[in-house]
Structure 1
Amino acid sequence: MADSGTAQEAQAMTESREKKPIPTQDAIRKLKAKLLPGFKYTLLFSLIIYLAMLIIGILAVKKCPVNENIPLFLCIIGFVGLASKLVTYLRDRIIPYFKIKYVESALYTTELVFFILGTYWVYKEYKPSFDPADGARYCQKTAYMYAFIYITAFFVVTLGVILLFVCLCCCAMCGVACLNSLIDDKADANESQVPYVDEEAKETVGQK
């Protein structure tokens, strides 16, 4: 009976430990709860941008003789951007039934490839004519400017993030250098406070 009682107590303690949330997991849940509203707003903003891009690209088909690939770039990036963001948002619900990682990889790879091609197409034709009477030099203004601003904004934001990262690394290195300097100065000050002992005089006194 005593052994069975001990076993039951051990089992109860094990169950209580399993039910008790791990501090790390609890912190992650709280962080997700705080960041979730911001993530939703960012996702909504991205969806609006890609939806507008898709619509503008569709409306501009056959209206950019200077380079017919520019509306194609808007259509593909708009569609792939919408799909990738929705798949990422619904990852937790879809992943038990589908290998979502491969789909995400394919979408982001396609987006990257067409972004590089679109950068070449848009910057190569800068600056086209926005007057339909100019024929081969014409491109619909809304479509071209949307593509140009989207690509340029991406490069500006990327450059800003890189510069911020470099600045943070420089600040961290300066902080570490200052800390090491303070430690060295303190060590030197402690050494200077130690009284000097003449070993030869100490030996002479000892012999006497």
Structure 2
Amino acid sequence: MALGGVEPGHTRPGGRTARVRDAVLRAAGDALAEHGMDALDLGDVARRAQVGKTTVYRRWGTVPILVADLLRDMADQSLPRTETGSLLGDLTANARLVQETLADARQGALFKAVIAAATCDAATARALHAFYATRVGEWAPCVEQAVDRGELPPGTDPHEVVRAVSAPLYYSLLCTGGALDAAAADRAAAAAAAAARAGLHVRSGD
């Protein structure tokens, strides 16, 4: 997760096909976190998941397709949006979930690997963009509700506000190595809320 928190390792009920998919995606996430995208190998994923190699090749075929499915699964498993009744409360809840995900040793390494791969692989980039579009869309209503309550000016772009919350946290993860703690999350939420209240995220022409 990020942009809302991801529950790693969660297994949903289902038949053998669902169990195989869960095992393979869990194994792919582990391999990504440990070795990065360049070392991700479908045969190794099959071994980790304890399923037949032909099953993995037949269902996914290539590493980018497998990673795209992993990102879809992560979006599906992401924790639901929190409603606190205030803009700052909602944005802080979002920021804390992002922070907890990125600070997690496995999840943080996984996101680093996928983001790095997305810079040079178009299929991975599309999958990553779809993941974040899903997560931002799920949290956008907290901004829309703030506009309805009069906390924000009309025409505020909810997607831009939500992106502004997580941007400093990803910058710390990828660029500065700064502390990814609750205080950092709270600062990111407060800054995004202040900018939104000041009208900095009002759509052009509104």
Measured against the shorter chain, the TM-score band is under 0.3
TM-score calculated relative to the size of structure 1: 0.24
Q: Give the structure-2-normalised TM-score.
A: 0.25
Relative contact order higher in (CA < 8 Å, ≥ 6 apart)? 2
Instruction: Please state which structure has a larger fraction of its residues in helix.
Output: 1
